[in-house]
Structure 1
Amino acid sequence: MPGQKLFATPQDVEAAFYEALERCDIEAMMAVWAEDEEVVCVHPGGPRLVGYTMIREAWQHVFANGRKLRVRLSQQTSVTTPFAMVSTLLEHIATVDNESMSAPVAATNIYVRGALGWRMVAHHASPVPPDSLGEAPRVLH
């Protein structure tokens, strides 16, 4: 289960999440997640993963190649209440050895405040076609 690191704000958790992603650090990554079996993660093009164990296994697979990543965030917005924050943003991810950015990924991160401070309870990321960034939103469902 996650370490007992205390995150004072949801922004602290989000920063730690992306730092762990850049470093491919599984322990740091899992330290941001809530110790709840209802946590959810969807990687771009991947299935819906529910539960701490499934999410840990998925991140271990993502980090298995050992490549260090460079993550640039843009178009960040958030809605914050005293006990929850929903953050939406675009992730621009490249490997350190290949600086050309991949297609952007639209991500939604949800954080909640509990007895151990703020923790991530959901991360959902979907690929975004690069030529669609300037277009008006389309209703798909």
Structure 2
Amino acid sequence: MARVALDLPHLQYILAHLPDHPDHMIGKQARGIIQNSISAINKSNEQLEFEWFSDPSNQDLPLKNFIQLPPEVLNSSVTDFFSTFKNPVYVRVINALLRRGCKYIRDLTELTIFQFGSTRNLGDRSHLAILQALNEKKNPSS
């Protein structure tokens, strides 16, 4: 079977030209496959920003080595910090971090990447959401 490699713009172009309500099952399957591919590409692009997180050589280093936060953010409680975001994933994040013993953002940034990655009830989506939230508040000079 021949393989075809398409980048994001090509997939979006093809999807835009497929009929919205295809009469054939093959059209429905093609639309689903293309939509899943676009979603996967977008997800992997989000994770590229935090490539250091999945690098095995960084597993023993604390998060604070990669995300420098101002003192007012470091001294804020986990509950206060994550409550300011609209994303519902943060309710689970707050509970998991508190169970982990992270009452303040400073406690979170002192965890090694391995400790953070192995925190119970936090999956890939939660890790990404936490890193994105911290990244939003980092020092402008870093």
Give TM class, smaller chain: under 0.3
TM-score w.r.t. length of structure 1: 0.21
More helix by share: 2
**Which has the higher Rg, Structure 1 or Structure 2?**
2
Higher strand share: 1
